[in-house]
A and B are shown apart, each in its own frame.
Chain A
Amino acid sequence: MVTIDDKKLIADEKVNNPSFAKTIWREIKHDKMALISLVLLLALLITAYSSPLFIDQEQLQRVNFLETWEAPSSEHLLGTDDGGRDVFGQLLIGTRNSFTIGLSVTLIAGLFGLTVGLISGFFGGWVDNVIMRIIDFLMVLPNLMFIIVFVVIVPNYSIFSFVLIMSAFAWFGKARLIRSKGLAERELDYINASKTLGTPNWKIMFFEMFPNLSSLVIVNMTLSLAGNIGLETGLTFLGFGLPASTPSLGTLIAFATNPDIVQNKSWVWLPAALLILVMMLCINYIGQAVKRASDARQRLA
């Protein structure tokens, strides 16, 4: 037998079969808006996540009645709030908290929705029927109201329970999407082949079927990341989100429920509102690029 240089072969095929990450990067590179979005978002996140290095959180939370409602100045870049706390610092911490929560909800809901969707799509039949009836029902619940009700009645309310409540109402759409694609995939012979080769069902689901749906999942997760950040800040804005001790971007915007603050103290809420807007636009733009990359990959396979 000829000796074969495996490493070289693997490297060769990597060039011919770019990974999804590479396809996405290529798509983003070719789209100026997406590239700008990515750079902007990364800059934002890096600043927000490294903020504990240069912001003392305890001092930030300390109420200082001598400096309440100060307009932006060189000392307080974006002024101060009702407790004399620095708005700029809260903005950074808030961005970090909001993004972390949005991401956790997306991942938890994504994982759960994916599992339910795969099971429903892979087995079909009565399993699918039961799961779909349940999801049909969950989809018609007015979810924002239910989230708020749960936030109110859950005992020992914490950030963790908030994330779980949000996730509990965020997975059905994904499960349904995965299920409908899964139903189509299960008719394909590669699934049948795996069954006849003795591969266990759970392995077929996660290692045969899932890779064929993965780009769809990634596209969906990117877009719902934006949605979840929006929902978290919205809930915090209404007063049913993060506890006051953990500032979110919504906490700052929540000041805007008072007409006087909306009108005369716009430095408190306006930057946070604009920041959310920019973040949403960036993530969605990247999401669109990811979607195009996934379409391109679909054409190849």
Chain B
Amino acid sequence: MSLLNVKDLKVHFPIRGGFFRSVVDQVRAVDGVSFELEPGETYGLVGESGCGKTTTGRAIIGLNKVTGGEVLFNGENLATMNAHERKKHMRDIQMIFQDPYSSLNGRKNVLNIIAEPLRNFERLSPKEELSRVQNMIERVGLNPESIYKYPHQFSGGQRQRIGIARALMLNPKLIIADEPVSALDVSVQAQVLNFMQEIQKDFGLTYLFISHDLGVIKHICDRIGIMYKGRFVEEGTAEDVYMDPQHLYTKRLISAIPEMDPAKKFEKMEMRKEINAAYRTEYDSYFDKDGRMFDLKPISPTHSVAIQQGGM
């Protein structure tokens, strides 16, 4: 059984207007998204900013209200649970946030930050708590002597490690990583990514990895879902998507990855021109008349694309 099964997830935000601030329209931030996560895998959610990928992650963990659809975690629907029932599952799903600066409370020292989840779910003596925190701090590669320091005394990479340590404290099964490295220096990004892969093995974690950075996604993910305007465009293994992109939008995205090799640079430019031309001529076969995506349609056991039924 899959660990997480998202079925036709919808998150809509009301637009209020007019005289009585009544709801005049909806922003369809996430508009019918379905995917599954197998235990131990890393699933990448990619798309441009505003495409709904972060909202998807936040809806799964409960930070945004789900408008429709199901979020099945171990077969139980989180979307319809009330706060009380949900709490039982909270320790199994944790989140790593994008901004290492605002995601740590500047008024609390590292010990209090990392011990927060422990205090919510377990009754430990201060001594036990301290040793658990120290072990975790060492595990994420920080000096255990620094637990009384405050967040502003650490660098961005170190802060992100503190954030990871906090998320790991309850031994979760699923971690939703919302752009965990995009706020970091490029030199630190790889360190943190490798470290995340390392702990994935050690703790047996499943990742839902949200990012706009195709390079990062390629490096870390087993399977990938590409989102655009709240819908899935294409889904498949990393290889499927990178080597054999089917949807026009995916092609555009992949072609936009900067090419380091000067020899291939010209080739890539040509490719981009071609895709741009195709975008103008073949637009209708990829988007319906409202500019909305079609539903996903499998083209191989692992690979599905949002194209018109019977099209191509």
Contacts and interface: CB of A to CB of B under 8 A. Distances in A.
23 contacts: A2-B144, A13-B150, A16-B149, A188-B102, A189-B97, A189-B98, A190-B102, A190-B104, A192-B97, A193-B163, A196-B62, A197-B94, A197-B117, A197-B166, A198-B90, A198-B117, A200-B120, A208-B108, A211-B105, A211-B107, A212-B105, A212-B107, A301-B107
B116 A194 contact: yes
Given A189-B97, A189-B99, A189-B102, A196 B90 contact: yes
B63 A196 contact: yes
Nearest to A2: B144
B152 interface: yes
A193 B103 contact: yes
A300 interface: yes
Contacts of A208: 105, 108
B106 A301 contact: yes
Nearest to B95: A196
A17 B146 CA distance: 13
A1 B136 CA distance: 12
Given A190-B102, A190-B103, 8 more contacts: A16-B150, A17-B150, A193-B97, A194-B105, A195-B62, A196-B62, A211-B108, A300-B152
Nearest to B176: A196
A140 interface: no
Contact of A9 (B106, B145, B153, B163): B145
Contacts of B91: 198
Interface string A207-240: 0100110100000000000000000000000000
B178 to A, nearest CB: 9
B154 interface: no
Given A9-B145, A198-B90, A198-B121, A4 B134 contact: yes
B273 interface: no
A4 B145 contact: yes
A260 interface: no
A161 interface: no
A199 B63 contact: no
Contacts of A200: 120
A244 interface: no
Interface residues of A, number: 28
Contacts of A4: 134, 144-145
Interface string B104-118: 111111000000110
B16 to A, nearest CB: 11
> Which of B62, B107, B108, B121 counts the most A-chain CB atoms under 10 A from its CB?
B107
B148 interface: yes
Interface string B62-102: 11000000000000000000000001001101110111001
A10 interface: yes
6 A-B pairs with the lowest CB-CB distances in the bound complex, closest first: A189-B103, A211-B107, A301-B106, A188-B102, A197-B117, A189-B97
B61 interface: yes
Contacts of B104: 190, 193
Contacts of A198: 87, 90-91, 117, 120-121
Contacts of A12: 148
Interface in A175-205: 188-190, 192-200
Contacts of B93: 196
Contacts of B149: 13, 16
A188 to B, nearest CB: 4
A192 B63 CA distance: 7
Contacts of A188: 102-103
A214 to B, nearest CB: 8
> Which of A4, A188, A192, A193 counts the most B-chain CB atoms under 10 A from its CB?
A193
Nearest to B91: A198
A188 B105 CA distance: 9
Given A196-B61, A198-B121, A199-B116, A212 B103 contact: no
A193 B95 contact: yes
B59 to A, nearest CB: 12
